Amino acid sequence: MRDAKHHDVPVRRKAVKGLGRYRDDLEAIEAIAVGLGDEDVAVQLAAQYAMAKVADVGDPRTVKATLERVSSKCEWTRIAALSTLADITGAFGQETRGTVLDLEVDAAVKGRLEDEDWGVRRAAIDTMAQRAEHNCAETIAAARKLLEDQMGTVRESAIKAIASLVPRGSREAIDWIAPRLDDWHESVRRAAVVAIAKIAEKGDQHSIELEKAACDDRSWIVRKAATDSLAKTATLNDLSSIRKLARMLEDFDPLPRMAAIYGIAELCGVGHRKAISLAEARLEHRDPGTRQACVQLLEKIATNDLEDIMRKVKERMDDEDEHVRDSAYYSLEAIKKTPPGRRRWISDLPDLSDLDRLGFDSSDEEDEKKQDAW
């Protein structure tokens, strides 16, 4: 408890996070709430983590202590309090929702949608969307309004809120988001194309055309997201989309190329002759990055009865580029082990779908285990 007010940030952060172990302790709850107003963001994040651990979801003590910070004069404290409310109040339908205190939370969150600080507005729409019922008209209307916000990060959060709430296949929602594909802020364009893929039904041609156009975006971040999205929305028999994904193998940035490799492999599967021929046609491309991408794609979808493909991959082992040579070696070994036949290809990539949460927890637990060993 004493270290929660220590002058050194790492000590203070570790102490505040540790307070989460003192379940249902009023002093600990109050100390954590004070941490939400700390001058250092790392301590605020630790307080947010601890507040979710110190009591059950929807506990009036933690909710009240956090709610009091939503009206703070400090914008960072307001942001921390709003984000914490999203964690500690529970989703729609949870048993503590709908109480008098919960209605106060609703009012406080809605009131911050027009806050003077853009970070607070973003936290408010994030929290409102997380707490809302699916297809909640009020929250969707609030998010639509924020699509015109002056700050790109707020528009980005508004897009994500809409995508998380509207029904699958909502053409209306796609039309709300589509204009953001021309936004000046690249993270907004990226969020828009990801949201379209999340909302669209498989094979929806309108969404596919939007994703194809985004594949030509000036930002590699958007092109990468658009390539991923196109692979999710396109169907196995959509040759136009498969050709577009194959053209992304020629992108000058490695990440859109990698997205094309995995997108084609997951969409088409092992033994898809058209996908194999599209990769084969680019094995002698002038750009070594494209040659490497094609070799890596064939590693995933080619089978050992395709002798001509195996010969051409083997020729790449004499490529002028060392990366192509290395990839060709491993590709040939993999193809030799792949029996003929059509089947799904299962991705070997780790799940990175929740990138926003990566790094939220620290290595404190690992440090403590090391200390215990002594």
Tell me if domain 132-235 and domain 238-346 are identical in fold: yes
- Which range, of 88-97, 169-178, 183-192, 217-226, averages the lowest pLDDT? 88-97
Options 3.40.50.80, 1.25.10.10, 3.40.47.10, 1.20.1270.10; CATH of 238-346 = 1.25.10.10
Distance between CA atoms of residues 229 and 292, nearest Å: 23
Cα–Cα distance measured from residue 157 to residue 124, given in angstroms and rounded to the nearest whole number: 10
> What one-character DSSP code corresponds to residue 291?
H
pLDDT at 364: 52
Tell me what the mean pLDDT of segment 340-355 comes to: 76
- In sequence order, what DSSP letters do the residues of 232-282 get, joined into one string? HHS-TT-HHHHHHHHHGGG-SSHHHHHHHHHHHHHHH-BT-HHHHHHHHTT
**Token representation of residue 189:** 């364009």
Backbone angles phi, psi at 343, to 5 degrees: -165, 165
> If you average pLDDT over every residue of the chain, what do you get?
91
What are the start-end ranges of the H helices in 19-117?
A: 26-35, 41-53, 60-67, 75-88, 100-111
Q: Long-range pairs for 112-120 at CB < 8 Å and ≥24 separation?
A: 112/70, 112/78, 112/82, 113/142, 113/145, 113/146, 115/75, 115/78, 117/75, 117/78, 117/79, 118/149, 118/150, 118/151, 118/153, 118/154, 119/75, 119/76, 119/79, 119/153, 120/75, 120/78, 120/79, 120/82
pLDDT tops 60 at residue 371: no
Give the fold, CATH level 3, of 1-115: Leucine-rich Repeat Variant (1.25.10)
The answer to whether 176 touches 202, Cβ cutoff 8 Å, is: no
d(CA 156, CA 140): 14
Residue 368 in this model has a pLDDT that exceeds 70: no
pLDDT (tens digit per residue) in 52-85 = 999 999 899 999 999 999 999 999 999 999 999 9
Nearest to 54 by CA among 91, 79, 17, 83: 17
Assess contact for 214 and 191: CB atoms under 8 A.
no
Cβ neighbours of residue 295 under 8 Å, at least 6 residues apart? Answer: 283, 313, 316, 324, 327, 328, 331
Residues 6+ apart with CB under 8 A from 128: 109, 110, 113, 139, 142, 161
The ranges assigned to domains in the chain are 1-115, 132-235, 238-346
Helix (H, G, I), strand (E, B) or coil at 343: strand
Range of lowest pLDDT (102-116, 310-324, 350-364): 350-364
- Which residue's structure tokens are 């440090």? 367
> Span 207-222, mean pLDDT?
97
> Which pLDDT band, with edges at 50, 70 and 90, does 157 fall under?
very high
β-pair partners for 270: 343
Confidence at 330, pLDDT banded by 50, 70, 90 = very high
pLDDT at residue 300 is higher than 90: yes
For residue 1, the model assigns a pLDDT of 64
Give the residue ranges of DSSP H helices in the chain: 9-18, 26-35, 41-53, 60-67, 75-88, 100-111, 118-131, 137-146, 152-165, 171-177, 186-199, 205-214, 220-233, 239-247, 254-268, 273-280, 288-301, 307-315, 322-336, 364-373
To the question of pTM greater than 0.95 for the whole model, the response is: no
Asked if 265 contacts 227 with a C-beta cutoff of 8 angstroms, the reply is no
**Higher-pLDDT residue of 369, 138:** 138
pLDDT tens digits along 177-191:
999 999 999 999 999
Q: How confident is the model at residue 358 (pLDDT cuts 50, 70, 90)?
A: very low
- C-alpha distance from residue 155 to each of 44, 152, 344, 369 (Å): 24, 5, 37, 42
Cα within 13 Å of Cα(62), Cβ side: 30
CA atoms within 13 A on the CB side of 300: 24
Structure tokens at 289: 């990055």
Condensed to tens digits (0 to 9), the pLDDT of residues 236-274 reads: 989 999 999 999 999 999 999 999 999 999 999 999 999
What CATH number should be reported for the domain whose range is 132-235?
A: 1.25.10.10
CA distance 185 to 179: 12
